[in-house]
């Protein structure tokens, strides 16, 4: 929102200006950045020739109180969408890539059980990016932390630096089993991309959150944390949420309620 304020300060809200903005929005949706209206356009599918914008910060709210015991629909949906082999089906489960994991935790004192999915937290200050010697680990303008496989050398420094064990190395040849939208391959590190291919397509949701909603659990909410009117921003204002290892001060894009 910090982006919007100075803009509306500079631009006097003259009727002419208003009319112009209205016309521009109608004809070339998303091309002109205008206050308010256009932020919505940016958040829900920008034109393909427009770069990801820092006006948006994609994030996820995990409601651990709704995450169901025994359910791993989000994990299955992720593996289907992004084409990684489920760990149970892998020939080498110990080194199989995992973009998202289902954790079932128990408090040893009270026996209280907590369910939650764990994946890349899309840190605003990502340690994986800090340590990467080639610049392959990077944060996109809209807050998504990615690996550029064209420059990743597979050194795995980022895997060691990540406090959330979110990253995996692809150890084996994938033999053309990749999805056309999700290139991934041997010798490169990978992790949750917040379904970047879906976001760029304008789906406005991730495979895991869609699956959770479809299963009726509604534990995952994806959205733009920079837009005060988005569902995720509203819920974050209302619910007490935590960042995992908040002591590290990484400003995470994934927030948890009920942990």
Which residues make up the interface to other proteins (CB under 8 A)? 48-52, 138, 140-142, 146, 148-150, 173-174, 176, 178-181, 183-188, 196, 200
Cβ pair 224, 232 in contact under 8 A: yes
- In angstroms, what is the minimal distance from the CB of 148 to other proteins? 5
* Tokens at 12, concatenated: 């006097």
Report the C-alpha gap between 148 and 244 in whole angstroms.
26
- In angstroms, what is the minimal distance from the CB of 199 to other proteins? 8
* Tokens at 146, concatenated: 């990615």
Q: Assess 191 for contact with ligand SF4 (CB under 6 A).
A: yes
* Residue number with CB closer to other proteins (138 or 157): 138
β-pairing verdict for 254-257 and 58-63: parallel
73's contact among other proteins, ligand SF4, none, with CB below 5 to 8 A by partner kind, is none
**Residue (of 15, 51, 16) closest to 33 by Cα position:** 51
* Residue number with CB closer to other proteins (187 or 228): 187
> Would you give the binding string for ligand SF4 spanning residues 136-155, x where CB under 6 A is met?
xx-------x-x----xxxx
49's contact among other proteins, ligand SF4, none, with CB below 5 to 8 A by partner kind, is other proteins
∠65-120-193 over CA atoms, to 5°?
115
* Tokens at 119, concatenated: 């994946």
Q: Assess 122 for contact with ligand SF4 (CB under 6 A).
A: yes
162's contact among other proteins, ligand SF4, none, with CB below 5 to 8 A by partner kind, is ligand SF4
- In angstroms, what is the minimal distance from the CB of 104 to other proteins? 33
**Residue (of 38, 32, 46, 54) closest to 202 by Cα position:** 46
CA torsion 44→45→46→52, rounded to 10°?
80
Q: Assess 78 for contact with ligand SF4 (CB under 6 A).
A: no
CA dihedral (138, 139, 145, 149) positive or negative = negative
Binding site for ligand SF4 (CB under 6 A): 120-123, 126-128, 131-134, 136-137, 145, 147, 152-158, 162, 164, 166-167, 189, 191
């Amino acid at each position: 929102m910090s982006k919007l304020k100075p803009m509306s300060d500079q631009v006097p809200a003259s009727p002419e200006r208003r009319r112009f903005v209205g016309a521009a929005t109608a004809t070339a949706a998303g091309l002109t950045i205008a206050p308010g209206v256009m932020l919505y356009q940016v958040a829900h599918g920008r034109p393909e020739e427009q770069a990801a914008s820092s006006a948006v910060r994609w994030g996820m709210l995990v409601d651990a109180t709704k995450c169901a015991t025994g359910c791993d629909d989000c994990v299955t949906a992720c593996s289907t969408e992004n084409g990684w082999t489920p760990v149970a089906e892998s020939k080498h489960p110990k080194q199989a890539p995992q973009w998202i994991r289902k954790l079932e935790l128990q408090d040893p004192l009270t026996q209280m059980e907590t369910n939650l999915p764990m994946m890349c937290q899309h840190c605003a200050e990502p340690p994986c990016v800090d340590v990467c010697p080639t610049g392959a680990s990077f944060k996109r303008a809209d807050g998504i932390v990615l690996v550029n496989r064209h420059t990743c050398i597979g050194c795995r420094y980022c895997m060691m630096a990540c406090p959330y064990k979110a990253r995996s190395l692809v150890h084996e040849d994938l033999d053309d089993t990749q999805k056309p939208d999700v290139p991934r391959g041997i010798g490169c590190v990978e992790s949750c991309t917040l379904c970047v291919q879906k976001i760029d397509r304008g789906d406005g949701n991730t495979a895991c959150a869609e699956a959770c909603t479809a299963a009726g659990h509604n534990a995952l909410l994806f959205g733009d944390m920079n837009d005060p009117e988005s569902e995720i921003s509203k819920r974050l204002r209302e619910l007490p949420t935590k960042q995992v290892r908040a002591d590290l001060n990484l400003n995470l894009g994934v927030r948890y309620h009920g942990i």
